[in-house]
Chains A and B, each alone.
Chain A
Amino acid sequence: MIWQVIRAALAVIVLALPARAEVPIVSVTSPGGITAWLVESHDIPFTALEIRFRGGASLDTPGKRGAINLMTALIEEGAGDMDAQGFAAARDALAASYSFRTYDDVLAISAKFLSENRDDAVDLLHLALTQTRFDTDAIERVRGQVFANIRADAQDPQTIATRTLDRLAFGDHPYATALDGTMDSVAALTRDDLIAARARVMVRDRLVVSAVGDITPEDLGALLDRLLGDLPQTGAEEPGDAPFLLEGGVTVVPYDTPQSEIIFGQKGLKQDDPDFFAAYVLNEILGGGRFTSRLMTEVREKRGLTYGIGTYLVALDHAELVMGGAATQNARAAETIAVIREQWGRIAAEGVSADELDAAKTYLTGSYPLRFDGNGPIANILVGMQLQGYPIDYAKTRNARIEEVTGDDIARVAKRLLAPDALHFVVVGQPEGL
């Protein structure tokens, strides 16, 4: 084990030091008390703004699944004295862009606007957030689009696999079902349900905001109050933690298609777990973003079983998973699962080599500053850091946290976390031998 530590130290010397993430992040609090993280960058005359409301689709009222998703999709479908087409025309005349998305744990709004008409673009977005019309014809048109999504998902092998795993894992928690809702639940939603959904999630005490670009702290402060100051203070309570009911095994969902989609998962760990960074490095070695991960090497490079395979630590607000996915021809699905399970067990029993740990660390620490390569990406990083509860200087300390992980840490966490017998595979296709 001493040998591993020495190897790690040598690696730092031999390889040039990674570039450092040097973007200066400041916290701006508006006169009205709204806080945002800001990176000022006046190179390009626009600003990227990211807004999140914590809770997202998980705040759906029981029986009203899909309400928050449908409500979110209607924000840009008419506001104030403008119908959907009037609103789109006003936005496009400003060359602003807004996007509204729903996830399990957040409602996300992204906006980009030019410096030359920033106030108008902010006022228009404010109108959409606070005076959404929810016109009957808009509701019906967008409801039709949601129905179409639900039908498309029902025919998509990868979505079928993911939804099956969620259903098996999460009992009666919102995570167990699609945030789009079902045909029946969406059909039953009324205009009042949408207004109620907005009141549950789009509130001040669920806000997280970041901005990057051509704007000063003073101007951002004024913008925050203008855009978000008159939102209500408090909304709905979040659901409690989800149960975790997934057990080891294989679930086959028959589907007539040549390639089996395989999704697999087991219990993970919380993002504030002391072992999280060790688990993150472990996952990188097992099935992270590199061509050289163990699973890419064993499943793709050595055996040609798949085009791609990856694993992920999923740390939601109310559930934790280690998950992965791959796709292979039906005839080799059983072999693919056997290889994944074998690798899962091997890394749990043996840990990783010093070389593997070094390579993963230099990749993770070296690639981190590369993410900060534009206003849009940096705004996303800033809002993500806040959602995860990291301090404002996290970007400076993050690589040190990776460097601190030792081979012993990896071995301990692998043993604690990865259990091949607990791994559940969902296979959508006509797999042979399962």
Chain B
Amino acid sequence: MRVFRVLALASIAFASAATAETVTSFDLENGMQVVVIEDHRAPVVVHMVWYRVGSADEGPGVSGVAHFLEHLMFKGTDTVAPGEFSATVEANGGDDNAFTSWDYTAYFQRIAADRLDLVMRMEADRMRGLKLSEEDVVTERAVVLEERNKRTENDPGALFGEQRRAAQYLNLRYGTPVIGWKHEIEALNRDDALAFYKTFYAPNNAILIVAGDVTPDAVRTLAETHYGPIAPTVDLPERLRPTEPPQLSERRLSYADPRVAQPTVIRTYLAPERDAGNQSEAAALTVLAELLGGSPTTSVLARKLQFESQIAVYSGVFYDGVSLDATTLAMAVVPVPGVSPEEAEAALDGALAGFLKDGVDAEEFQRIKTQISAAEIYARDVVRGLAQSYGEALTSGLTIADVQAWPDALRAVTPDDVMAAARKVLDRKNAVTGFLTRPDAASAPAGETTIPEGGDETAGNAEAAE
């Protein structure tokens, strides 16, 4: 029986393909923006509230308060006891969590579509109703310090990253870690968190994203019920960020740590981000990063450093244009044993100079264009990923129109655009170069690779592997 039903669906395959990603947007009267992404393949919904505030909006001396508040948001309101938020979501078969970055703070639940009302009611309740006991604040601060231990203090690569970002940004708060400097986390208190909360958590500073098995009408009704009655904050501070001054002088640093498994050279160039209505240069930089270091086999760096000179065990180039303010084009080279960081850097510079002289490989360029189009198709399989893309973009100064224009912006990039972007950005005066080494660098081993490590299936957990 089932076979026939499925076969019947085949005839409408192409018809539904064009409309699978259905995005609707509207604003509530209090200024809260709402985005609905329909995907009716499974009876599941992702409910997210994104606040247009992140660690880069913190004041001096309280680094980490945006992230600390994110933890404290689970400590209850007048109607929801500490811990009850997650317990309620879990008892309904859902998962919930939250995350903070420089430009945003977001809360999400993933749950059966018929429980949307429940999670929306609780999320709306804690937008204004947070209640914090001193004891919960102190205990949660210890948790955050352990999180910092786990992510940063125990990881020399992460410590090196903090130092590099601090060197990269002279004026933007992007040079301060999201989780906060350790000595400032230790001093964060209840008043710090509540002051940040009262200033920034408001419907007119928030974006609601609901993705999955829902209709825009149903979301509008629920949103008006739960978020609609929340009064906007009339004196919401304008999001004024300092701008980064022109970088006139190359910056260099090195960090040695006995826990380093292999020396690594990292170069970051200050680079423009995607801006509303103006994404063409960012699109060119995105294609540039792919050409230079996207493929571990056929990109410029892979060919020159891993296949031809064989000085590197790994190389890669990264650019993410979704950022409220200036971002970076970053490259990493892990030299093979016996090759010094200086030699690796020289090889990197040689490869970049060769690229600037030779220009774009036409076949690689065409393959990247093909993959850009395919990525749109594959992306539709992961509705959570689509919701994430909209949330990041909308909290980083972009509009829904920008998000939807992005694939076309990528398709419009020409080889000349790529070379123009490369000549503008790839200037060492515009760069930070860092060496991560062991104290006895000469004998340092080499390490990171593209081979995936054992993971979920190693655990053999019957349920996890289902």
The CA-CA distance from A106 to B454 in the complex, in Å, is: 10
Chain A nearest CB, measured from B255 CB (Å) = 15
Chain B, range 141-191, C-beta contacts under 8 Å to A? 141-147, 149-150, 153-154
Known contacts: A256-B259, A259-B146, A365-B93. The answer to whether A40 contacts B452 by CB under 8 A is no
Within 8 A of B (CB), among A351-379: 358-359, 362-376
Task: From the candidates A92, A317, A327, A388, name the one contacting B298 in the complex (CB within 8 A).
Answer: A92
Asked whether any CB of chain A lies closer than 8 Å to the CB of B260, the reply is: yes
Q: Please determine whether B90 and A145 come into contact, CB atoms closer than 8 angstroms.
A: no
Asked whether A280 lies within 8 Å of B6 as measured between CB atoms, the reply is no
Q: Chain A nearest CB: distance from B56 CB in Å?
A: 23
Interface contact B454-A104, CB-CB below 8 Å: yes
Shortest Cβ distance from residue A329 to the other chain B in the assembled complex, whole angstroms: 6
Check A26 for interface membership: any CB of B closer than 8 A: yes
Partner pick for B149 among A24, A114, A258, CB 8 A cutoff: A258
CB neighbours (8 Å) of B451 from chain A are 73, 142, 145-146, 149
Is there an interface contact between A329 and B334, defined as CB atoms closer than 8 Å?
A: no
Interface of A is mostly: mixed
Q: Which of B368, B381, B454 contacts A44 (CB 8 A)?
A: B381
* 9-residue interface stretch from A1-9, A152-160, A340-348: A152-160
Q: Within the assembled complex, what's the spacing in Å between the Cα atoms of A95 and B367?
A: 8
B409 interfacial contact with A, CB 8 Å: no
Q: For the complex, what is the distance from the CA of A169 to the CA of B370, rounded to whole Å?
A: 49
Q: Give the residue of B212, B313, B455, B458 whose beta carbon is less than 8 angstroms from that of A148.
A: B313
Question: Chain A residues near B142 (CB, 8 Å)?
Answer: 303-305
A292-B83, A314-B460, A387-B465 are known contacts. Are A151 and B446 too (CB-CB below 8 A)? yes
Given A19-B114, A103-B458, A369-B44, A280:B381 Cβ within 8 A: no
A149 to B371, CA, bound (A): 29
Q: Shortest beta-carbon distance, A391 to chain B, in Å? A: 13
| Contact in complex: B113, A216 (CB < 8 Å) | no
Q: Kindly list chain A residues whose C-beta atoms are within 8 Å of the C-beta of B465.
A: 380, 384, 387-388
Hey, which chain B residues are within 8 Å of A304, CB to CB?
138-143, 146
Task: Among B146, B384, B457, point to the contact of A305 (Cβ < 8 A).
Answer: B146
Cβ-defined contact, B374 with A106, below 8 A: no
B16 touches A291 (CB 8 A): no
Contacts of A290 in B (CB 8 A): 86-87, 90
Query: Is the beta-carbon distance between A45 and B13 smaller than 8 angstroms?
Result: yes
Alpha-carbon distance between A297 and B141 when the two chains are bound, in angstroms: 15
Given the known interface contacts A85-B298, A148-B448, A362-B93, the answer about A292 and B382 at a Cβ–Cβ threshold of 8 Å is: no
Q: Is A144 an interface residue, CB under 8 A from the partner?
A: yes
Q: Which of B295, B381, B452 has the most chain A CB atoms inside 10 A of its CB? A: B381
Given contacts A19-B113, A40-B9, are A145 and B314 in contact (CB under 8 A)?
Answer: yes
Residues in chain A near residue B453, CB distance under 8 A = 149, 153
Residue from A148, A258, A374 with most neighbouring chain B CB atoms (10 Å): A148
CB pair A43 B20 closer than 8 Å? yes
- Could you tell me if B449 and A148 are in contact, using CB atoms closer than 8 angstroms? yes
B444 closest partner in A (C-beta)? A151
- Which of B7, B43, B259, B460 has a CB less than 8 Å from the CB of A19? B43
With a cutoff of 8 Å between Cβ atoms, the chain A residues found around residue B260 in the complex are 155
- Asked whether A302 lies within 8 Å of B298 as measured between CB atoms, the reply is no
User: In the complex, are the beta carbons of A370 and B44 less than 8 A apart?
Assistant: yes
Q: Is the CB of B42 within 8 A of A105?
A: no
- Complex interface: chain B residues within 8 A of A375 (CB): 381
Residue of B nearest to A25 (CB): B2
Q: Do A369 and B462 form a contact, CB below 8 Å, given A151-B445, A327-B149?
A: no
Closest approach, in angstroms, between the C-beta of A383 and any C-beta of chain B?
8
B380 near A: Cβ within 8 Å? yes
In chain B, residues 10-65, which have Cβ atoms closer than 8 Å to a Cβ of chain A?
Answer: 10, 12-14, 16-17, 20, 41-44
Q: Which residue of chain B is the closest to A303 with respect to CB atoms? A: B139
Chain A contacts for B41, CB-based, 8 A: 41, 43, 373-374
Q: How many pairs of residues, A versus B, come closer than 8 Å at their CB atoms? A: 298
Inter-subunit contact B461/A363 (CB<8 Å): no
List A281-332 residues whose CB lies under 8 Å from chain B.
289-292, 297, 300-308, 312-317, 323, 327-329
Cβ < 8 Å to A, chain B residues 364-391:
364, 366-368, 370-371, 373-375, 377-378, 380-384
B261 at the interface (CB under 8 A from A): yes
List the B residue with the shortest CB-CB distance to A20.
B43
Which B residues from 286 to 335 make CB contacts under 8 A with A?
295, 297-298, 303, 306-307, 310, 313-314, 334
Instruction: Report whether B143 and A307 are in contact in the complex, using a CB–CB cutoff of 8 Å.
Output: yes
From B91, B115, B297, B460, contact of A315 by CB (8 A)? B460
| Contact, CB under 8 Å: B457 / A388 | no
Known: A26-B2, A258-B153, A315-B462. A374 touches B382 (CB 8 A): yes
Taking CB atoms, residues of chain B closer than 8 Å to A258 are 149, 153-154
> Chain B's nearest CB lies how many Å from the CB of A250?
20
Q: Which residues in A have their C-beta under 8 angstroms from that of B90?
A: 290-292, 359, 363
Contact between chains at B94 and A151 (CB < 8 Å) = no
Q: What separation, in Å, do the CA atoms of A301 and B138 have in the docked complex? A: 11
Partner of B461, one of A19, A42, A102, A314: A314
Picked from A42, A151, A157, A369, the residue with its CB within 8 Å of the CB of B447 is A151
Contacts of B262 in A (CB 8 A): 148, 151-152
Q: Does B463 contact A (CB under 8 A)?
A: yes
B450 an interface residue at 8 Å Cβ cutoff? yes
* Chain B nearest Cβ from A299, distance in angstroms: 10
Q: Is the CB of B446 within 8 A of A301?
A: no
Residue in A45, A144, A256 whose beta carbon sits within 8 Å of that of B313 in the complex: A144
**Across the interface, which residues of A come within 8 angstroms of B336, CB to CB?**
144
**Binary A-proximity of B413-451 (CB < 8 A = 1, otherwise 0):** 000000000000000000000000000000001111111
Closest B residue by C-beta to A148: B447
**CA of A381 to CA of B457, assembled, Å:** 11
* CB-CB under 8 A for A327 and B91, given A280-B462, A315-B461, A374-B383: no
Q: Are B462 and A370 in contact (CB under 8 A)?
A: no
A381, B466: Cβ atoms closer than 8 Å: yes
8 Å CB interface, A101-125 against B: 101-106, 108, 112, 114-115
Contact A291-B146, Cβ < 8 Å, known A45-B14, A93-B370, A146-B451: no
The smallest beta-carbon distance between B172 and chain A, in angstroms, is 28
Contact of B373 with A95 in the complex, beta carbons under 8 Å: yes
B258 at the interface (CB under 8 A from A): yes
Q: Is B248 an interface residue (CB 8 A)?
A: no
Q: Are B6's CB and A148's CB within 8 A?
A: no
Q: Is B224 an interface residue (CB 8 A)?
A: no
Q: Does B79 contact A (CB under 8 A)?
A: no
Given contacts A157-B154, A329-B149, 4 further A-B contacts (CB under 8 A): A95-B370, A95-B371, A276-B462, A388-B465
Can you list 7 residue pairs at the A/B interface with Cβ under 8 Å? A46-B377, A149-B447, A149-B449, A291-B90, A307-B144, A384-B466, A388-B462
| A-B residue pairs, 8 tightest by C-beta | A366-B93, A304-B142, A95-B374, A42-B13, A145-B449, A88-B297, A384-B465, A259-B149
